[in-house]
Structure 1
Amino acid sequence: LTVDDRFMGSGWFRFTQDFVECESYGPTIGRLSQRMPLNGPIDGMGTHPVVADGYLLSLFDWVEGEKKKLRVMLPSPDHRGATPPIIAEVNIDAVFLGRETVTVKAGTFATKHFQFIDDGSSGMAGQHPPYDVWITDDADAIMLQGGVGGYMQTWYELIALDR
């Protein structure tokens, strides 16, 4: 992982039915070995690239307006994933807002619109502004666009797609 061309860390994760383990190194943490019992199933691994957020949301059956609390392991509790890899558990709310037709530079698509909501109690590094995600309404579940307001002011949009 690099931030502004500066090495932050590197690591790997291994999951079993009962535990997750992490081996990592970073200038601020040195060499780190972790092992954490899972104590039940998780909903996924939140790897921080936004396409993974769309994929995670596509794994569940949703009813419009439904809110689910997702139990996810992350390699960083930082909102940008900008720390050396560590095991971080997050329990974040996701809401299915509905189906929409969306046009991005890559074209016009039938989508599912979701929103991640974190009031600061999820296990991440403080409250996260609402994060909207639109994925294709098909088996591919391609993330088309997403955005976060508040202090993050971030927008993502798919500009090209070849199938």
Structure 2
Amino acid sequence: MKKKMILPALLSLFVSFAAIAQDQHQTEPQKENREEHRKERLEQLKTDLELSDEQVEKIKALMAEKHEKMQTVKENRPNEEMSEDEKKQARLEMMKARKDIQDEHQAKMKEILNETQFEKYLAIKAEHKGKRLKHKKHEEMHMHPHREGDHTHPHKHQKGEPHKH
């Protein structure tokens, strides 16, 4: 009887360890990519804004601080046990917390940079935001393409409906 119970227990334990190992394997490259991206971004800022070594070190620390705060916010995101109202409230709180972190980050960047650098920083930031929005729109368009046989296209009239001009 004990042998029959040990085998399923060992099997479930093995499956659990395999799932944990696979999950860690998938997140480690993402973590490395993010850190690599932050390093590249800092190098780009150094070049674009002609930063001093002192400014680079301050911005590097500031970026790490912002990342840690954002991670804390991310850990408190809504989960499946929450009611819809609780999820909505949690999302609103997350959005506010992110905005506060970003505002604080920008204020500290203003302290680190001189006026010319800060203006250029804001221009670069606006350009990146535009690219992100454009990329997001492009992705959304391709996620929900017009399907064959679907006659609900917003610019076409339905069968039997008069054509509107």
TM-score by length of 1: 0.22
The structure carrying a bigger strand percent of its residues is: 1
Bigger fraction of residues in helix: 2
